[in-house]
Amino acid sequence: MTVAAPTRVLSLVDAVGEAMRQAMEADPAVIVLGEDVAGGAGRGEEKENAMGGSFGATKGLFPLFGPNRVRDTPISEAGFVGAGVGAAAAGLRPIVDAMWADFTGLAFDQIYNQASKMSFMFGGQARLPLTIRVAMGSGLGAAAQHSGTLYAIYAHLPGLKVVVPSTPHDAKGLLLESIFDDGPVMFFEHLKLYVAKGPVPEEPYRIPLGVADVRRAGSDVTIVAISAMVDRALEAAERLAASGTSAEVIDPRTVSPLDLDTIVASVEKTGALVVVDESPPHCSVASEIAAAVSEHAFDSLNGPVRRVTAPHAPVPFTPSLENAYAPSVQAIVDAVGTLA
């Protein structure tokens, strides 16, 4: 009798690290830039003590690939993101670790005026295979300047792809796809998901950008949830099922490009839509999905689209307020209840 091999389990941060290692093994043009990505190795510290960036994602890369391909940078987002843009334009495939999503404002000109526009301004003759990784999200007491989501800002910019994985499996496949994409990609990793574990194949694999995942099939209401909100939507769907409501849960996985076809097809089946987004509501991805579904599937809707979002406020530091900031499972259940 053949015994099936046990499913390998990794945390999301380890899945991200494995994706970078496998990309670097596959292509010598792949490099890593950022603060402490080599953990001080090369500056006199012991290589084995290298922590691998703020969250350990790049741990182990420096001993394998050395200082030419894993480069610690000064504390200057404008400088090292700009270096990444130049390296990509010159033929490399840089992965830039910008640490926190909130810090990308310091490099906004490099991202918005250079990375996102370069191919367009040169008539498609310039490739810019740049991946910028950032941590985001509330829930760890990191306060307002270290907890913003911001993916809606970058989804607004033509020329950028924006990725928001919710599982270790998807994080690895989407990051490999992002690294080998010939355009710039913003890759958002939720802080609370870094320790989340799930099955991840050992071999390299890619997940196409712009393809949503139907995480749970249902017939009464469609719930579209982003990043860390996917698990809360799935828990809400379990509660709703106990009371006789069948919820379909969709994880977009990327918000630019957005797989509107999958969302619309679900709404045409269920007749109802709730969008769950940790970002503030004004000009959010939740707002874009709600508007797009209202345009493309209005006749299928049995009532208004409901958005469940964070308040229009910075992320608070006080634990009780921070706990109330992101959409809760109960808030999702309640939003579905208003559609009955």
Catalytic residue set: 146
Q: Per-residue b/e over 291-304, b at no fewer than 16 CB within 10 Å?
A: eebeeebeebbeee
- With residues binned 3-state (H G I as helix, E B as strand, rest as coil), the percentages for the chain, rounded to 5, are 40, 20, 40
Strand pairing category for 70-72 and 273-277: unpaired
Distance CA 162, CA 179 (A): 12
Q: Quick one: which of 29, 12, 17 has its CA closest to 180?
A: 29
Question: What residues form DSSP beta bridges with 10?
Answer: 198
What SS3 state is found at 338?
A: coil
Is the separation of the CB atoms in 162 and 186 below 8 Å? Answer: yes
Sole residue written with tokens 């370069």: 118
Is the separation of the CB atoms in 275 and 305 below 8 Å? Answer: yes
Distance CA 20, CA 1 (A): 37
N- to C-terminal Cα distance for the chain?
51
